[in-house]
Amino acid sequence: MGRGHRRMVALFLAVAVVAGLGGCAALGTGGPAVSGPGGAPAGDGQGAAPPRGSDAGTGGGAEVEGVTLTADKARYRPGEPMALTVHNGTSDEIQLTGALGGLKGWRVTAAGRQPWDHGMAETTALVPVRAGQSVRLGPVPAPAEPGRYVLEVRFFHRGGGPATVAVEVEVE
């Protein structure tokens, strides 16, 4: 392969990646918005506190002290946009599994947990979150059925992985 051809291929790939990320952002499903220390994305300040440990999620990942997931509100109407924020309060970088952090959800009932699918397309690229930074995920439409939900995000960290962090929200 000639030098000129390699340059064309590299340029094409770079343009495709940039166009793909920009196109996803235009659709509202793009990469997360990142903010620095103390610059968490705006919300109404009433986000639900993240549950501690793996009890909140599936238990499929380790807990990492200092990594939190919050919702911009504690209660939503069905279909209302939910903005989730992952904060990396550790001294090392973490990597989310995709632009929505591999978001999974469950409706909590007396009979147990029922899986909830947010229905949004997600990339498989790892999204780095530096120490002290926050990343805003979404917006993701709230579930259509009222109830209590556990939302979980997966990430990798220097001490191993995968790990999870979760938050509970109410849909009225």
DSSP 3-state of 41: coil
Contact 110, 140 (CB under 8 A): no
Neighbouring residues of 124: CB distance < 8 A, sequence distance ≥ 6: 97, 98
Residues 60 and 91 in one domain: yes
**Six token digits for residue 89:** 């309060």
pLDDT tens track for 26-39 = 333 344 444 444 44
Residues 147 and 70 in one domain: yes
Which domain CATH number covers 96? 2.60.40.10
How remote is the C-alpha of 55 from its chain's centroid? 19
pLDDT tens track for 49-100 = 333 333 344 545 777 999 999 999 999 999 999 999 999 999 999 999 888 8
Global pTM?
0.67
Contact 119, 150 (CB under 8 A): no
Query: In which residue are the tokens 């968490």 written?
Result: 40
Residues 7 and 58 in one domain: no
142-160 exposure pattern, b = at least 16 Cβ within 10 A, e = fewer: bbeeeeebbbbbbbbbeee
Residues 166 and 110 in one domain: yes
Residues 97 and 20 in one domain: no
Residues 16 and 38 in one domain: no
Residues 37 and 4 in one domain: no
